[in-house]
Chain A
Amino acid sequence: MSFQVSKSSEVTLIEVEGQLIVGNRQLLKQRVLEQLEGGDMKFVIDFSNTDYIDSSGLGVLVSLSKKIREQGGELRLSSLNEDLRMLFELTKLDTLFRITDNKEEALEGF
Chain B
Amino acid sequence: MTGGMDKDLVLELPTDVQSIEGAVDFVMGRCSGCLEQGRKLNLNFRVGLTEALSNAMLYGNIKDPSQSVTLEVTIESGRLKATVRDQGAGFDPASIPDPTRPENVSRPCGRGLFLMRQLLDEVWHNDRGNEVTLVLRLDSGSALEGGAQA
Contact = CB atoms under 8 A, between A and B. Distances in A.
Interface of A: 19, 21-23, 52, 54-56, 58-60, 62-63, 66, 83, 86-87, 90-93, 95-96
Contacts of A63: 108
Chain B interface residue number, banded: 20 to 34
A59 B115 CA distance: 13
Interface in B20-34: 20-21
Contacts of A66: 106, 108
Contact of A55 (B17, B43, B100, B115): B115
B115 A22 contact: no
Nearest to A83: B43
B54 A52 contact: no
A56 B111 CA distance: 8
Interface of B: 17-18, 20-21, 39, 43, 46-47, 50-51, 54, 58, 99-100, 105-109, 111-112, 114-115, 118
Interface of B is mostly: helix
Interface of A is mostly: helix
A62 B17 contact: no
Given A21-B21, A23-B18, A60 B108 contact: yes
Contact of A91 (B21, B39, B46, B114): B114
